[in-house]
């Protein structure tokens, strides 16, 4: 197990470096400087500005400096647009919000999805099964940017139950729609995955043996069927997590929740390169960390993977 | 014995007279697909959507840019869908004809979907086939690259690309395609590994065919089934990715539009009571994505019967 963990970490480190270098080069290969504006800046001021942000150095010096700052000091540098704020401050502002509804959506997607899928498999061909299958097929075509307006239409404009946006310190009314919008399509996929793998496991030999021994159905399912049935679901957790983070862009835009997604889109519109890179690298690091956790979880469930 | 010798003889002569024609695996697959009602219905829907994109503009006198000054400022009261005014789907917030805009959005979304999937399929198939066929250290290296790229949050990188190099549709579909060939290459590599020890490949190698030619002439055609199925399922995810970016206002630029941009506009204006601005683009989006999924499922059942 230890050597497996070590091997996995050996892949994670270069991945992060590639991400940093790649996004850095993309930014710096772009035509025009971040200070290109409609009204030309006098050359002396431009030179001063570039000196302040280190843009007058050769590219590789800038790159090494940037990597050093990010890796050793967690410092993403100053924002190119908001002159008095650093990227770290902007991220620290929005990240807790994104984390709150992101983690909630993730938990909802996994818990509801697994429960629905497992129940559908246990009561195969019952009304519960049909409803689950129906929902999971239908929800495939309801990504977050489709769910968000539909939810607002129903719960805000028609029923008037929930506020159409805002955050207000994360009170539950402001959380309901973002969480549903983010989790629906992934909940459906997880339910479908769980159902099909559970059906397969329930017909396998070790379950039949447990039944023949007279073990109660509840214990068979909880102790023997659930763990192997979880394997495909666990490998799907990585993509789900990425989708929650990516989806936060839509959620922040549509519900004005003020997470890092908003910072990212605004940065894209303002060409605030350092902020875009900061968010991308943070998200990438989280993704890499999470896929590491998922792989370890997978190896723990299925000992065959380790070797 | 209960056999009727007369009947058996009759059958034997009949079989001798008729020439027995074998069915190719492709013909088999076609029969299976044609019998699949859900997939056939979905295919018809897709053809209708494609016809709408291709010829829809012929049936209206408006285009996607012109502003109807009769309805401007009173879109909620006058811009509703009606046959009498010629705005079949109503108008958008600026008084532009939504039917014409939906036709144009459908064209762009379908184009991005198909071209993006095309880029992903070509790159992914060649990459996976080369990696799997050559094997060894090169395979190891190429797959490590895929592992590394897999961990990159590609939607963010795509937005960075669009910001850095300017927003354009061509960059959008090249970017979406280039960032989503990874799964394709893994699937193709797996298939190639199982193909490469088959006798016909050995025979080709023994008769001195070059590696490049073996990959292109013998490996790739045999991968076609898997590739076709995966490509069909890739198109809706390309359309979704484009819609996602256009929803954020970072994709197609005015006056061009796409489903994502139209849904975004409709979602923004629905509180003014102009629900049709959301409903029509959303309908086309949902129906098309659904249809692609069903066709993809049908193709999988048809081309890969062992998977059922």
Average pLDDT over residues A154-173: 77
CA neighbor of A275 nearest in space, from A26, A90, A128, A66: A90
Q: Which residue of A has its CA nearest to B143?
A: A11
CA distance B155 to B161: 10
* pLDDT tens, position by position, B24-57: 777 888 888 888 888 888 899 999 989 888 887 7
For position B308, what pLDDT does the model report?
41
* pLDDT tens, position by position, A210-247: 889 888 888 888 888 888 888 888 888 887 888 888 88
For position A240, what pLDDT does the model report?
85
Interface test with B, best of A36, A137, A149 (most B CBs within 10 A): A149
Average pLDDT over residues B218-245: 86
Q: Are B153 and A245 in contact (CB < 8 Å)?
A: yes
Q: Which of B69-78, B157-166, B240-249 has the highest mean pLDDT?
A: B240-249
Q: Are B79 and B95 in contact (CB under 8 A)?
A: yes
Q: Which positions in chain B touch A12 (Cβ < 8 Å)?
A: 151
Average pLDDT over residues A149-160: 83
Of B153, B243, B293, nearest to A284 by CB-CB distance is: B153
For the entire predicted model, the pTM comes to: 0.82
Q: Are B271 and A157 in contact (CB < 8 Å)?
A: yes
Q: Which of B5-14, B148-157, B168-177, B282-291 has the highest mean pLDDT?
A: B282-291
Residue ranges per domain, chain B?
A: 46-307
Minimum mean pLDDT among A75-84, B49-58, B174-183, B261-270: which range? A75-84
* pLDDT tens, position by position, B257-270: 888 888 888 888 87
CATH number of this structure's domain B46-307: 1.10.3720.10
Confidence of residue B253 (pLDDT cuts 50, 70, 90): confident
For position B127, what pLDDT does the model report?
92
Q: Are A42 and A238 in contact (CB under 8 A)?
A: no
Interface test with A, best of B145, B236, B243, B248 (most A CBs within 10 A): B248
Position A266 pLDDT exceeds 60: yes
Q: Which residue of A has its CA nearest to B273?
A: A157
Please give the full DSSP string across chain B, using - where no structure is assigned: ----HHHHHHHHHHHHHSPPPP--HHHHHHHHHHH-HHHHHHHHHHHHHHHHHHHGGGG-S--SS-B-TTTTT-HHHH-S--SSSS-TT-B-TTSBBHHHHHHHHHHHHHHHHHHHHHHHHHHHHHHHHHHHHH-HHHHHHHHHHHHHHHTS-HHHHHHHHHHHH---HHHHHHHHHHTS-HHHHHHHHHHHHHHTTSHHHHHHHHTT--HHHHIIIIIHHHHHHHHHHHHHHHHHHHHHHHHHHHHTT-SS-TT---HHHHHHHHHHHGGGT-THHHHHHHHHHHHHHHHHHHHHHHHHHHH-GGG-
Position B77 pLDDT exceeds 80: no
Residue B181 C-alpha, separation from nearest chain A C-alpha, in angstroms: 16
Q: Are A145 and B264 in contact (CB < 8 Å)?
A: yes
Count Cβ atoms within 10 A of the Cβ of residue B61 and give its class: 0-12 exposed, 13-18 middle, 19 or more buried.
Answer: exposed
Of B147, B161, B270, nearest to A157 by CB-CB distance is: B270
Q: Are B153 and A246 in contact (CB < 8 Å)?
A: yes
For position A35, what pLDDT does the model report?
65
Q: Are B267 and A254 in contact (CB < 8 Å)?
A: yes
As for the ipTM of the complex, it is: 0.80
Q: Are B278 and A149 in contact (CB < 8 Å)?
A: yes
Residue with the bigger pLDDT between B256 and A114: it is: A114
The CA-based dihedral angle spanning residues B159, B160, B163, B164, taken in that order and rounded to the nearest 10 degrees = -150
Average pLDDT over residues A96-112: 90
* pLDDT tens, position by position, A166-209: 777 767 778 888 888 889 888 988 998 898 888 888 888 888 88
For position A307, what pLDDT does the model report?
59
Confidence of residue A110 (pLDDT cuts 50, 70, 90): very high
Q: Which positions in chain B touch A271 (Cβ < 8 Å)?
A: 163
Confidence of residue A305 (pLDDT cuts 50, 70, 90): low
Residue B253 C-alpha, separation from nearest chain A C-alpha, in angstroms: 13
Position B155 pLDDT exceeds 60: yes
Confidence of residue B305 (pLDDT cuts 50, 70, 90): low
Average pLDDT over residues A133-152: 85
Q: Are A140 and B293 in contact (CB < 8 Å)?
A: yes
Residue with the bigger pLDDT between B3 and A18: it is: A18
Confidence of residue B233 (pLDDT cuts 50, 70, 90): confident
For position A82, what pLDDT does the model report?
75
CA distance B248 to B173: 16
CA distance B166 to B251: 10
The CA-based dihedral angle spanning residues A35, A41, A45, A49, taken in that order and rounded to the nearest 10 degrees = 0
Q: Tally C-beta pairs within 8 A across A and B.
A: 116
Q: What percent of chain B has pLDDT over 70?
A: 91
Q: Which residue of B has its CA nearest to A289?
A: B151
* pLDDT tens, position by position, A60-72: 888 888 888 877 8
Of B148, B165, B244, nearest to A14 by CB-CB distance is: B148
Q: Cα dist. B280→B49, B58, B265, B268 in Å? A: 13, 19, 12, 14
* pLDDT tens, position by position, B284-294: 998 998 898 88
Residue with the bigger pLDDT between B94 and A266: it is: A266
Q: Which positions in chain A touch B270 (Cβ < 8 Å)?
A: 149, 152-153, 157
Q: Which positions in chain A touch B149 (Cβ < 8 Å)?
A: 18
Q: Which long-range contacts (CB under 8 A, 24 or more apart) does A49-56 make?
A: A53/A77, A53/A78, A53/A80
Which residues, in sequence order, are bridge partners of residue B67? B96
């Amino acid at each position: 197990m230890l050597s497996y963990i070590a091997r996995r970490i050996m892949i994670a480190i270069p991945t992060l470096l590639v991400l940093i270098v790649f996004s850095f080069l993309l930014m710096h290969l772009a035509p025009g400087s971040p200070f290109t504006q409609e009204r030309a800046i006098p050359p002396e001021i431009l030179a001063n500005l570039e000196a302040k942000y280190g843009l007058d150095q050769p590219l590789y010096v800038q790159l090494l400096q940037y990597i050093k700052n990010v890796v050793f000091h967690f410092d993403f540098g100053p924002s190119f647009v908001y002159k008095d704020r650093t990227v770290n401050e902007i991220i620290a502002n929005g990240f807790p919000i994104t984390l709150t509804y992101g983690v909630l959506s993730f938990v909802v997607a996994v818990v509801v999805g697994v429960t629905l899928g497992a129940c559908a498999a246990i009561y195969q061909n019952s009304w519960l099964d049909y409803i689950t299958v129906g929902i999971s097929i239908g929800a495939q075509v309801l990504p977050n940017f489709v769910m968000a307006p539909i939810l607002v239409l129903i719960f805000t404009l028609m029923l008037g139950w929930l506020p159409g946006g805002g955050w207000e310190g994360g009170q539950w009314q402001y959380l309901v729609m973002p969480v549903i919008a983010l989790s629906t399509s992934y909940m459906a996929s997880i339910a479908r995955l769980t159902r099909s793998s559970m059906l397969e496991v329930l017909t396998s030999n070790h379950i039949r043996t447990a039944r023949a021994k007279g073990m109660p159905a509840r214990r068979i399912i909880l102790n023997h069927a659930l763990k192997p049935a979880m394997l495909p679901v666990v490998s799907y957790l990585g993509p789900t997590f990425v989708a929650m983070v990516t989806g936060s862009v839509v959620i922040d835009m549509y519900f004005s929740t003020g997470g890092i997604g908003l910072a990212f889109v605004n940065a894209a519109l303002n060409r605030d390169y350092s902020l875009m890179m900061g968010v991308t690298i943070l998200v990438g690091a989280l993704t890499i960390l999470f896929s590491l956790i998922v792989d370890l979880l997978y190896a723990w469930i299925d000992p065959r993977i380790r070797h | 014995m209960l056999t009727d010798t007369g009947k058996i003889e009759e059958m034997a002569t009949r079989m001798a007279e008729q020439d027995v024609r074998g069915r190719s695996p492709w013909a088999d697959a076609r029969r299976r697909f044609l019998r699949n009602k859900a997939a056939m219905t979905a295919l018809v829907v897709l053809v209708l959507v494609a016809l709408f994109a291709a010829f829809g503009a012929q049936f209206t006198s408006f285009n996607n840019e012109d502003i109807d000054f009769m309805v401007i400022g009173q879109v909620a009261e006058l811009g509703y869908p009606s046959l009498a005014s010629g705005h079949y789907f109503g108008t958008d917030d600026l008084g532009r004809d939504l039917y014409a805009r939906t036709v144009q959005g459908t064209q762009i979304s379908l184009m991005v979907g198909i071209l993006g999937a095309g880029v992903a399929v070509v790159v992914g198939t060649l990459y996976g086939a080369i990696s799997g066929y050559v094997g060894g250290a090169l395979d190891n290296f190429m797959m490590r690259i895929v592992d590394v790229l897999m961990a990159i949050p590609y939607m963010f990188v795509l937005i960075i690309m669009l910001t850095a190099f300017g927003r354009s549709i061509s960059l959008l579909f090249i970017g979406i395609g280039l960032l989503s060939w990874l799964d394709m290459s893994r699937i193709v590599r797996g298939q190639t590994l199982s193909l490469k020890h088959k006798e016909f490949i050995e025979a080709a190698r023994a008769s001195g065919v070059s590696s490049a030619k073996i990959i292109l002439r013998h490996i790739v055609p045999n991968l076609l089934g898997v590739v076709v199925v995966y490509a069909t399922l890739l198109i809706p995810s390309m359309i979704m990715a484009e819609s996602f970016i256009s929803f954020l206002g970072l994709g197609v630029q005015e006056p061009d539009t796409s489903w994502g941009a139209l849904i975004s506009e409709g979602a923004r204006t629905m509180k003014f009571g102009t629900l049709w601005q959301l409903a029509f683009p959303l309908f086309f989006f949902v129906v098309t994505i659904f249809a692609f999924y069903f066709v993809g499922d049908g193709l999988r059942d048809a081309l890969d019967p062992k998977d059922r």
